[in-house]
Structure 1
Amino acid sequence: MKRIITAVGAVVALLALVAAPGHASPGAVPAAGASLPTAVHAADARASVEDAFTVQDARTEADGVRHLRYQRTYRGLRVAGGEIVVHGRADGGYAGTSVGLIAPLSLSTEAMTTAAQAARAARAAFTGAIAEVGRPENFVDATSGRGVLAWETVVGGYRPDGQTPSRLHVVTDATTGSVIRSFDEISVVASAAAEPIAAAAGSTIAVAGTGQSSTRGPSPSTPPSPALLTA
């Protein structure tokens, strides 16, 4: 069962899960002879009293340095771009927190547009033959560093050639109804699969057509998420 931590007051108890015996997070390696810090300041996590955090994954480097990733929710809604990574030194000390938010979230969760409107906007954004339109999900889009209430709708079908499958994720503003961004799930998977298999661990590989790069394998000198800001 997932364990959820709520941000209350000035301190968010994020690392208590892995410090306590029998409550290691997914993929966590128990510390040898040292305990990880049990609290992270809310300011470091850009946390508000409406936030809650769930352990997503953990990684321990060969030198004992640990990185724990947490997924954020705001008033019960998923926050895209709200993840935080807490870094712990090999001696058990707190090394800092990487976070994507510029400031704590503070927004209304009352949508001014409906799920039906979001679905129509997603249909209009799709180019090709539509086979299905998924149920729009209300969430907080914080990929820009600031939170915006939004809808995410997945449209499945085929591209204009009639043969290439597509699963387009369309994110629309829940206040104005305008399209914020979109990406094709199948294109992302295909690009990742096309990366050279023999790439060395820790090497950076450009993902064709995305303007982004990805890192294959762990690299002790590289934070788990380069897009996050370190507090």
Structure 2
Amino acid sequence: MRSSSSRRGTSHRRTPHTPRRTAAVALAGVAALIAAAVQSGTATAAPEKAPSAASKANPGSESVRLTPAQRAALIREADAGKARTARDLGLGAKEKLVVRDVLKDRDGTVHTRYERTYDGLPVLGGDLVVESTKADATASVVKATRAAIEPATTKAAVPAAKARRQALTAGKADEAKSPDINREPRKVIWAANGKPVVAYETVVGGFQHDGTPQELHVVTDATTGEKLYEWEAIETGTGNTVYSGTVDLTTTQSGSTYNLTDGARGNHKTYNLNRGTSGTGTLFSGPDDIWGNGSPSNLESAGADAHYGAALTWDYYKNVHGRSGIRGDGVGAYSRVHY
């Protein structure tokens, strides 16, 4: 059970395609800015004149596929320099960076996704993506929150048992079956909205009313006892994409069949147009939750790219602009591949 999104409203975790910054945050997590470029099937009017050279995408900003060894080497390099990066970003003395992922462009630019800790506590909603070049070690940064990570205290005034009870109550809602604590309350810094505060994160297991395994995360303010947020983590499939390597995909299971419907993000669907020139196409579905093999010759590989890109786009609008979906109405778009 990985990945996350809300079950009661949209939750958390790049910009539309611009020539230089598109790949800046094409990483799983908050703030991924490349995804709109791979979301296929959108209709656009024909331009009245040819685009200028300045408006054309820079091929150097396209991401390259990394081998596991290359990715591991970049992660080790970022990890070795994370203290310097934290200083470059002006983070506080109590803040530390944790390397989570890397992506590299054809021109050598590297984009590194970090999570943060504060005084040893995980910061939920503190993710950031750093773009670095050979000429400038830290060229730009995109943060999930603009707020300074400076909670008034890291001491809890509310006992963990209260957070536990609150999480169990939430887990029993909507006719859930056999809810029980999967992970006891852990102290965190909640920075996903407003001023960062010390909080508890508790995870409830069991089954949702439709039999889907439950992984409900409940965040409780550790100073007031107020429930700050909750989201249902969703079991993810595996996408072997052409452009982004192996990624997690949020999918839907119907009986013994899986399909590319993202119930965590407005029910976005990814269709196979199968060389057609009109219509919606056929929703990608199959007997397992593995999509594509990374080769363009496999029809599911492009579907995995589009589905992944759409999820990153949704997360970008939510985390950077506070908008649920591109139109702000909580409804997912759809993608079509193989036009």
* TM-score strictly above 0.5: yes
Cα drift, residue 93 of structure 1: 4.8
1:119 and 2:153 matched: no
Higher strand residue share: 1
Query: Which of 93, 113, 119 is the aligned partner of 1:49?
Result: 93
In 2 relative to 1, CA 168–29 (structure 1 residues): closer, same or farther, beyond 3 Å?
closer
Mapping of residues 1-231 of structure 1, within 5 Å: 26=72, 28=74, 39-40=84-85, 42=87, 45=89, 47-89=91-133, 91-107=135-151, 108-126=153-171, 127=173, 128-133=176-181, 134-144=183-193, 146-161=195-210, 163-186=211-234, 189=236, 192-193=250-251, 194-195=259-260, 196=270, 197=300, 198-199=302-303, 201=305, 204-205=309-310, 213=314, 227=319
Q: Could you tell me which residue of structure 2 aligns to residue 18 of structure 1?
A: none
For 1:226 and 1:166, the matched residues in 2 are separated by 23
Secondary structure, counterpart of 1:152 in structure 2 = strand
Cα drift, residue 83 of structure 1: 1.9
Structure number with the bigger relative contact order (C-alpha 8 A, sep ≥ 6) is 2
For 1:101 and 1:205, the matched residues in 2 are separated by 21
Higher helix residue share: 2
Bigger Cα Rg: 2
Q: Deviations over 1:149-171 (max 9, x none)?
A: 1111111112234x332111111
Q: Could you tell me which residue of structure 1 aligns to residue 33 of structure 2?
A: none
Secondary structure, counterpart of 1:166 in structure 2 = coil
In 2 relative to 1, CA 129–144 (structure 1 residues): closer, same or farther, beyond 3 Å?
same
Unaligned stretches of 5+ residues in structure 2? 1-69, 238-248, 252-258, 261-269, 271-299, 322-339
What is the aligned-residue identity percentage?
30
Cα drift, residue 40 of structure 1: 4.5
Q: Deviations over 1:26-76 (max 9, x none)?
A: 451899xxxx9x94575x736211111222222211221111222211010
Cα drift, residue 148 of structure 1: 1.5
- C-alpha RMSD of matched pairs (Å): 3.6
**Paired residues, what number?**
186
Secondary structure, counterpart of 1:81 in structure 2 = strand
For 1:129 and 1:52, the matched residues in 2 are separated by 39
In 2 relative to 1, CA 46–25 (structure 1 residues): closer, same or farther, beyond 3 Å?
farther
Secondary structure, counterpart of 1:80 in structure 2 = strand
In 2 relative to 1, CA 176–46 (structure 1 residues): closer, same or farther, beyond 3 Å?
farther
Q: Could you tell me which residue of structure 1 aligns to residue 267 of structure 2?
A: none
For 1:111 and 1:185, the matched residues in 2 are separated by 25
